[in-house]
Structure 1
Amino acid sequence: MDETQWARHVAEVAAGHPHLAAELDDHGVPERWSRPPGFPSLVLLILEQQVSLASAAAAYARVRARTGAMTPAALLATTSEQLREDGVSRQKDRYLRALSAAVGSGDLDLAGLATLPDEVAIKRLTQLSGIGPWTAQAYLLACLDRPDVWPVGDRALQVAVAERLGLAHVPNGRELEVLGEQWRPHRSTAARLLWHGYLSRRGRRETNVDLAP
């Protein structure tokens, strides 16, 4: 979608859901959080696990500067000590090396994910150490542009839903799954609207990262 089509789509989805309409009225049309499909985006998503987006972006930039190219071979050519200097934890170092090996060997066909149904693509991704449901769902939403992805393990989304719906407590993943049913089959758009409200209320924006290989 171009910018005009995206704005029209957001307005159409929000029109049928009062809470989303309120989010749109309060904070406007969200940026269409989108990243190119492929290895660099998945590396960044792994780095974003359980840290701030800004911290992950900074670590990604340092690794990219060191390797000269964000490819499986270039990443595997680094040492663990070098990645630690770049801000990559021991655990994420293992995850990134497992990802690099799987993509490099062809065991994980990233291009082929685009042809698979959501649940099958998520299953393929989560078979790899270090890629859980959140990372897989975020990849489908942001990189494969799937329209009905709902990352129930995302803390910001949990808080955003609690704030917008005026809930007495922040829903857990299971509760968020139930709450999200009201926004099918456009849960990806609902998530974007709710994330946008969450960031706007805190004076923050999505962090942009150069994801060229």
Structure 2
Amino acid sequence: MEDAHLVDLELDSQTGLMAVFDGHGGLHCADYCATNLPSVLKNTEGWAAGNLSGALQQAFLALDASITTSCPASSGTTSTVALLRGNQLIVAGVGDSKGMFVRGGRAMAMTVDHRPDAPEEEARIRGAGGFVHRGRVNACLNVSRALGDAQFKQDACRSPHEQQVSPQPDVREAHAVSPTDFLLLCSDGVWNSMRENVVLRFVRQKLLSGLTPADVCAALCRGMG
């Protein structure tokens, strides 16, 4: 598999960081992001100002810029990143990995699937000289936003978010209100195997039964098989 993940519950004295990266074209970009995201995030202006949403957006762009000198041009990764500070939850994502937050028993999508044939995404791709065929950028990549994938970011006259494949994340915020609230971050392998409501009901029931989050994740993966 070309996936990587990151859990740092003590990014600082107040903040926890969790992320999943679903690589393609090799593990290079996913592994690079999992290793370097904490330091890149803490070096952003947004982090210094206490603006976590801005820090995540800046970190995605900074990671993407640094990847070009560290990973093959054909390598890329989706990225779903969550920050938790107190009861404040912020999730940023590019690609089709998904973050779902269950609060008070109700599910809330914290990410957007970035599909090449979505109207706004396709307009950007075509404007940058690309095309969409059978839901893929240039008949190749099935996500319209990702980190890495430098081969789709070659127009020097366009900003990063105007390239055929954009590293610009969508960012959403929520607040946890109950000890039974939970956030689930998974790559598309989970969501393509089981319906969202089935996944979330499974996880909630296992957590309420007393299983640890690690055991719940293991049980979820077994349930997919």
What TM-score do the two structures reach when normalised by structure 1? 0.33
Larger relative strand fraction: 2
> Quick check: which one's helix share is greater?
1
TM-score normalised according to structure 2 size: 0.32
Greater relative contact order, per chain length (Cα 8 Å cut-off, separation 6+):
1
